[in-house]
Amino acid sequence: MKNINFKIYTLGCKVNQYDSLALSGLLMQQGYKEQKYKEKDLNLIIVNSCAVTHSAISKSRKVLKAFKKENPRARLVLMGCWPQTHNLKENLADLILGVGNLEKVVLEINKLFNIKNQVISKVDLVNANKTRYFIKVQDGCNQFCSYCIIPYSRGRLKSRKELEIIAEAQKAISLGYKEIVLTGIHLGLYGKDLKTKNLNLLKLLKELNNIKGRFRIRLSSIEVNEISDDIIAFIAKKDSKICPHLHISLQSGSNKILKLMNRPYTKEEFKKVVNKLRIKMPDIAISTDIIVGFPSETEKDFLETMSFSKKIGFSKIHVFSFSAHKKTSAYNFPKQVNGKTIKNRSKRLRDLNRELKNNYYQKMKDKKLEIVVERVDNNYAYGYSQYYFICKINIKKINSQVQGKRLLGKLISSF
């Protein structure tokens, strides 16, 4: 094969990131050459898009135009959730695909370059660095929240086989990865669609925990109603390798809005689970997602969300400004909130996020933290702590060859 240089630009969630890494491995297996940094002289550009908000779609469009301008001779491929959920008739790219079968994506790309179909083997590992390894354990969602397009783009729940996941994790650990991150669209329902008896997220965590080696396991996200007492007890065990950090989407602190969103819990139920977690693990980091400006959200509802967020004491809040999709029921809801109000409320919530983050960092300042080193600069190492914030530690008295290692140190500053 002649040299075909490619670059993949990924927008959106960790599932998209995993898919891009897997696609990169398949393409390199075929003889394509990846260029991660140099954006000129490319033959192939792939944009793996997101459609969770209108701004994500807009960003995908801008990225395509920018790459096209800089590399006019390159072949463009648009894939991901945007083309999956929208009937794109525009001349945006040479090849437009959705989500799903990555082997098929490779075959279609081969056709673009008049390459005869070659054997496509499964890629064992699909990660970009040697520090934190991402494993997609399931895809799809059955929940159908009124604002969410993911069930339409990713389909219903689809879990991977347990042995396949464990084998991938074992190989990553044997190659030196120090953190295994479990990703999925609806992680808490892992195994529910398979016919294997008693297979669920807790069983998978136990099997992964039993793998020999010094590493840790992180859950990328989980729904509050799927955090059982057994899961809490297992994470809190002394010999547990599960990080004391959970990303639990709240979306709103108003029960009225939660009901309109079709979220399967109340704020009281959310707080009850958080209390259980903190009884077992007082320092646990709990990050969240909150949508601002959902239809019918009044100032009173928003202030409820602000107040509730303070009570919970989140370690981080991801703030999303509401934008309706035509395929979701919320698109036609009455009492849509105007853009100016959404912008104002989003700013206030982001201000609160900075306050809560700082409160949590101050709490952790005198504690010994374990970081997986991702970068070394002079006498300092940078990486994620077990509580999922990037921190900086002094390594002046330590051998500087520490990238990919797990180090203990006190927090100098956080990001």
Q: How far apart are CA 395 and CA 284, in angstroms?
A: 26
Higher pLDDT, 21 or 314: 314
Q: What is the pLDDT of residue 355?
A: 97
DSSP, res 124: S
Tens of pLDDT along 171-205? 999 888 899 999 999 999 999 999 888 899 999 99
Q: What value, to the nearest 5°, has the Cα angle with vertex 413 and ends 238 and 409?
A: 40
- Taking residues 365-380, report their average pLDDT: 82
Higher pLDDT residue, 37 or 235?
235
Q: What is the per-residue pLDDT across 56-97, written as a single tens digit (0 to 9) for each?
A: 888 888 988 888 888 888 999 999 988 888 878 778 899 999
Strand runs labelled E in 161-256: 179-183, 216-219, 245-247
Across the range 197-224, mean pLDDT stands at 95
CA dihedral sign, ordered 46, 52, 55, 58: positive
Position 415, amino acid: F
- Flag whether pLDDT at 390 surpasses 80: yes
Residues 393, 378 contacting (CB under 8 angstroms): no
Mean pLDDT of 341-354: 97
pLDDT computed for residue 399 by the predictor: 46
Would you give the DSSP letter of residue 133? E
